[in-house]
Amino acid sequence: MSGNSDRIDEATQAEVEPISKMESVESTTEVEIVADEGGDHKVLFVDDELHILKAVRRLFVGQDYEVLTAESGEDAVDMLAQESIAVLVSDQRMPGMSGAQLLDYTRRNHPQITRIMLTGNNDTSTAMEAINKGEVFRFVTKPWDHDEFVRIVNLAMEHYELKVSKERYEAHIRTQNELLRQANDKLQRFNEELESAVEERTGEVVAQKQEISGLYSELQHSFDGMLKALLAIMELGEINIVDHCQRTAERVRQFGEVIGLGQEVLRVLERAALLHWIGLINAPPAMVQKSVDQFDAVEEATWDFHPLLGQQAICHVPALEEAGRFILHYLRRYDDPEFQADRSDLGLGNERNVEPFVTGCQVLAICSAFEQVRTAHQRRHGQKGKGEELLSRGLRAVEGEKGRRFDPTLVARFREMMSRELGRSKKQQIVVSFEELKSGMVLARPLETAQGIPVAPRDMIITDELLERLERFRASNGLDEIYVWA
């Protein structure tokens, strides 16, 4: 970054000039470790100008991570071998090893580190080199905006945490699948023994039942963890689909109870709803800003193919096999003669299962199409828009397809349910403190941090997981006023 200090913004220059005049003689090639009050994660800033590093340290005081600095690419390489770094921010123009070379070295030797480059406004060749070699997460151009710079580094830290979580969850899933296999083997052995020695081994049977009860409880917790892992993996894609899937699952549970779906079918259908867009994880983000009838040829092909991709993604997990079947068929149309409740050739193994399965597919399709209106609106306009307006638009989208995509009887029941919710949407809003926020409450307005960063959309149901996430935001950035429906 030599020769570029005149490109720092005025606020930063006011901080830097006394350092450059009075302390430039102290510049060395040693790596300097800053004892910050941050958390366990570390961010390494690399620049050959000491006064820039001092300005950066001032800028990031109070952040929830430790700040380290190095004055050359070579020193940074030494630091990477000694420290566990989460985010690397490197200037491009440095004597010796350039920023692009350092980022390329980091990509090859420390791929888990999230990489950011500082560049000049017009340095196109540098940007291309970094993309081709270093696979950078973001660019920050000089002069930088303080708030934007901090926001980008915080996003990079979240990206690093997601990657680490993905690796940890994948290992966890492998372990839990092995536990499931072992438990199934144990159950099979138990049944064989039970048939031959019920009376003689009553005591052993009681002990085995207790052990199985404990195993089932443990496996249920493991299964819940596996679902969380899959949702975390879905969040790593460029297309943000987790919020849509969670809202769809809530709507499926609500609608399924209204029409009297059995609890076993509803439990499986709710899991399918949580994962039904997993096949879109690599789809273009612009797809969720559109309705299905606005897709181009490529997007339409991606949309038609995503149920198969989603089913294949979870088919090797026995506990999700039934959910995968719902995902595979949920886009089948009501007017498709090959997909009717009186069919017995749908591969379900029992004719009694056909009607609830076809109904379940329709329930998932209706709820997802309804929530897709809100998802598209939020991706185009953020959280703006009245809740009752979006509810009405979602209903129109569903009713426009009755008799074709959707069962007219189910559409009518869905309208009855949503009409009651439209009436409830006009009730009073109240402000609550974070300590008063409880699981089951519904947000009446979008929730933001004190700096205006969106955290949760309007009408989101408060869950224990969301409370944990909000606690982290409150600790790091503070939260704006919280409005819920009374």
Q: Look at the alpha carbons of 388, 390, 394, 400 in this order and tell me if their dihedral is positive or negative.
A: positive
Domain count, the chain: 4
Task: State mean pLDDT over 45-56.
Answer: 91
Q: Tell me: do 13 and 90 sit in the same domain.
A: yes
Asked whether residue 477 is assigned to any structural domain, the reply reads yes
pLDDT at 345 over 60: no
What is the band of 448 on the pLDDT scale with cuts at 50, 70, 90? confident
- Residue ranges making up the domain that contains 208: 169-236
Asked whether residue 356 is assigned to any structural domain, the reply reads yes
pLDDT of 406 reads 95
In sequence order, the 6+-apart residues with CB closer than 8 A to the CB of 117 are 89, 90, 91, 92, 99, 100, 103, 126, 127, 130, 134, 136, 138, 139, 140
pLDDT at 486 over 90: no
pLDDT at 148 over 80: yes
Chain center to CA of 402: 32
Can you give the CATH number for the domain in which 451 is found?
3.90.105.10
Among 183-192, 270-279, 287-296, 440-449, the range with the most confident prediction by mean pLDDT is: 270-279
Least confident range of 150-159, 184-193, 429-438: 184-193
Q: Tell me: do 57 and 129 sit in the same domain.
A: yes
Q: Tell me: do 282 and 406 sit in the same domain.
A: yes
Q: Tell me: do 377 and 279 sit in the same domain.
A: yes
Task: State mean pLDDT over 1-10.
Answer: 41
Q: Tell me: do 107 and 84 sit in the same domain.
A: yes
Side-chain half-sphere exposure of 466, counting CA atoms within 13 A: 20
What is the band of 28 on the pLDDT scale with cuts at 50, 70, 90? very low
Residue with more model confidence, 191 or 256: 256
Tens-place pLDDT, residues 157-214: 999 999 888 888 888 888 888 888 888 888 888 777 777 666 676 666 666 666 665 5
pLDDT at 233 over 60: yes
pLDDT at 3 over 80: no
User: Using alpha carbons only, how large is the chain's radius of gyration in Å?
Assistant: 27
Tens-place pLDDT, residues 67-104: 999 999 999 999 999 999 999 999 988 899 988 899 99
Mean pLDDT of all residues in the chain? Answer: 80
Distances (CA, A) of 186 to 189, 210, 321, 425: 5, 13, 21, 51
Can you give the CATH number for the domain in which 23 is found?
3.40.50.2300
pTM for this model (two decimals) = 0.46
Q: Looking at 202, 236, 270, which one is the last position of a domain?
A: 236
What is the band of 217 on the pLDDT scale with cuts at 50, 70, 90? low
Asked whether residue 231 is assigned to any structural domain, the reply reads yes
pLDDT of 15 reads 38
Asked whether residue 154 is assigned to any structural domain, the reply reads no
pLDDT of 2 reads 44
Q: Looking at 236, 269, 294, which one is the last position of a domain?
A: 236
Least confident range of 4-8, 36-40, 127-131: 4-8
Asked whether residue 394 is assigned to any structural domain, the reply reads yes
Asked whether residue 156 is assigned to any structural domain, the reply reads no
Q: Tell me: do 134 and 188 sit in the same domain.
A: no
pLDDT cut 90: percent of the chain above it: 33
Q: Tell me: do 291 and 411 sit in the same domain.
A: yes
Q: Tell me: do 306 and 395 sit in the same domain.
A: yes
pLDDT of 37 reads 42
What is the band of 54 on the pLDDT scale with cuts at 50, 70, 90? very high
Distance between CA atoms of residues 375 and 28, nearest Å: 53
Q: Tell me: do 265 and 279 sit in the same domain.
A: yes
pLDDT of 110 reads 94
Q: Tell me: do 265 and 411 sit in the same domain.
A: yes
Can you give the CATH number for the domain in which 408 is found?
1.10.3210.10
**Among 397, 388, 139, 194, which Cα is nearest to 292's?**
397
pLDDT of 354 reads 82
Distance between CA atoms of residues 383 and 458, nearest Å: 7
Go through the chain and tell me how many residues it has.
Answer: 486
